[in-house]
Structures are given as C-alpha cells and as structure tokens.
Chain A
C-alpha cells in the first residue's frame, strides 16, 4: 500500500444502542511525497560536484643569465621528450646526433615504459656516492634519490601541445618517481624533426641549427 494505515481499532465493541461512528479513512496517499523526493534527488545529483579538484605542485627554477648557475645534466642520463600536436610524442636519449637516429616517436601509453627503462639503466650505472647517501640519511630520506641523481627528464612542449599533454607528462614524472625534470623550450632542430615526422605544426621560424 502506498499509504500509511493508522486505523486499527476494528474490534472495539460498542454498547447496544450506541450508533456506530462512521469510520474515517486515515490512509495518507504517499505518492506526491515520493514524487517530490525523487525530484529532489535528481536535482541534487545533477548539481553535485562529487569530487573536489586536487592540485599538483610545480616548482620552476629561477631564470638566470649566469652560466655557472644553470643546472647541468649529464648527457648519458638525460631523456628528452618532445610533445607535438594531436597527442604525438617524440623522445631521444642523451644528445641528438647529426643523423638524428635516436629520435623516436611514441604514444603517451608507451612513454611510461620508456621512462622506467631509462631510469633503471641510469640506476644500474650508479656508483656509490657516500656523500650523497649520508646526506640523505641525515635528512631521513631514502637513498633512491641518490641513485637516480644523474637521471634527468627534459620535457619540451611545442606550440601545438595542449595543456593536458603537459599535465599528463608531469604526472608521469610523479607516477614513476622521477626526481629531476624540467620544462624547456624545444630547439629549432627538434621542431624541424617533429615537423618532418608529420607530427608537428608549422616549421620553425628560423632554419634548423646545423
């Protein structure tokens, strides 16, 4: 019954001659209430923001003109990732040689494995650095950070890369626990290679550096 039944004194006996009082139906029709209830539920579901946005930290180094203040990275431990248009992605390890043989394309799914592989490779070449390790221990950090101290990911978004691409790539750094990475403008030579690969946008304004 879509109703509340509050009656229930059927068995009450009245004395003889007492007129039977007409019983009022005390049932309440609950349908409108149910309707209203569901209307409100629908309203709240539609207006709800279920998950609160989160934020991720991004620290950029201060720009400097002094050569000796620039962060130096080892060629052997660097991985450059170039973000092109339409979610295309290119990468190379170390320095780009004249024939650009190391310049490869990948997808956002594959880049995780590439980062992990490169990180393992750098860690395998690690020679125990007592200074760094004792420092890390003193600060209560794990020595993992020392092991990957030569590993550096350079993220180079081109003009055509979207904001999502950049955030995805930064997120990838968090996921794989890469301690050192940077956002850098791509070189003209790299832009040219991206363009030749068909994944980039307009040609670089200046001819590629030879």
Chain B
C-alpha cells in the first residue's frame, strides 16, 4: 500500500535581502561616523538653535565639567607643535620651564586641566594612563591667581597673526561663576569674541527665527 505522501515544506527562509539591508546599514554607519574623541571627563553641552559648525583647527577650547573644573585644549590639526608651544609658553609665564622632551607624549586636542606646576609630571604619563587621572582643573576662581589668563595669553602669543577661535564648552550643570571666571580671563587678555559649544536644536515653531528660516529655505 502506498502511503499518502505529505509534502514537506522547507522551513528555511531566504535571508539574502536581510543580509543586504544589514550591510547597507553597516556601510552607512562606517561612512557617517566620526569617532568620539577620548575625553577625560564627559561634558553634556546644552542645546541651541545655532547652526555654525564647530571648528577643529586653529582653535582653543576651554571646557568646564560638572564639578566646575576648567580644562584647556589646543586644537591645531595642521601643526601639533603649536599645542606644545602653548603649554611651554603658559608654563614660562608662571616661571616654569618645560622642554619638548617633557611634552613628547602630547596629543593634539588633549584636555589639560592641571595646575601649571603639575603639568610636567602629568605629561610624563603615557596617554592611556593620563585619561584615568582625575585632573585638578586649571585654577580660575581667584582672578589674581587665575592660570587660565596665562593659558589664553600663551595661545594668543603662539597663534599671533593667524585666525584663532576661542571655544567655551560647559556642562549643563556647571555653575555660572566658573563660566564668569572664564569670561573674565578672556577679558583680561582683551578677547571679546568667542563661541559657545552647543548641540544643535531646531528653532521652536512660530517664533521669529523660525519664520525667517522658513523664508530662507
């Protein structure tokens, strides 16, 4: 007797389109991403409607973290030596000498938040170690002993004759007095123009800026 054959259906699904989509997404992410730069402290910046992009060359950035500590970083992709010069000059203004050998491990755009007398020891550490060290923050509070004035002055001196942007990046929860002290340090170097680093946000609907941007489009 012949048994009635039950047709076996394949339970395999064709995964080819799935793989296609997965790799499409993968290639998108590879191309569209920039790696997060290593930061010794995370800083959450506020949002603003501003649409200018942040410069990453010929700029110095003063960062304020959530504990109101101030960090200074020099961003000069085209010439890393400039960053070293700024550190040397800032130290010189405080009566300390640093040599290129002391700064051999300096990386461009690094956030430095140490009082000037501790920089030598700090820079002697390998870069991976440095990220783990809790930095003290550049002294700013007292305007008489504010080392940030030296830092800005040094940056101004090293970048003389070139365009230099001053960026201020503050954490959402940092208190105003620190920001005020940073502004004060800038004022003492006769610098009145600077940029605040923020995350982009759309203009709220119905406001004047919104109307204007709508017209512009």
Question: Which A-B residue pairs are the 9 nearest by beta carbons?
Answer: A44-B29, A163-B170, A56-B50, A55-B195, A48-B33, A164-B172, A157-B176, A164-B46, A167-B46
Which residues on A are within 8 Å of B, measured CB to CB? 1-3, 30, 33-34, 37-38, 40-41, 44-45, 47-63, 83, 112, 157-168, 170-171, 174-177, 183
Main secondary structure of the interface of B (DSSP, over half): mixed
A44–B25 alpha-carbon span in the complex (Å) = 10
B53 pairs with A164, CB closer than 8 A: no
- B57 at the binding interface (Cβ < 8 Å): no
B32 pairs with A48, CB closer than 8 A: yes
A175–B190 alpha-carbon span in the complex (Å) = 28
26 A–B contacts from the bound complex (CB under 8 Å): A1-B15, A37-B26, A40-B30, A44-B33, A50-B32, A51-B200, A53-B199, A54-B48, A54-B51, A54-B52, A54-B200, A55-B53, A55-B167, A56-B195, A56-B196, A57-B194, A58-B195, A59-B192, A60-B183, A62-B187, A161-B176, A162-B176, A175-B203, A175-B210, A176-B207, A177-B212
A55 pairs with B197, CB closer than 8 A: yes
Number of interface residues of B (CB under 8 A): 64
Which chain B residues lie closer than 8 Å to A45 at the CB level?
Answer: 29
Which chain A residues lie closer than 8 Å to B10 at the CB level?
Answer: 1
Which chain B residues lie closer than 8 Å to A157 at the CB level?
Answer: 176, 180
Which residue on chain A has the smallest CB distance to residue B208?
Answer: A177
A130 to nearest B CB, angstroms?
Answer: 25
B33-55 residues at the A interface, CB under 8 angstroms:
33-36, 45-55
B1-43 residues at the A interface, CB under 8 angstroms:
10, 12-15, 18-19, 22-23, 25-26, 29-30, 32-36
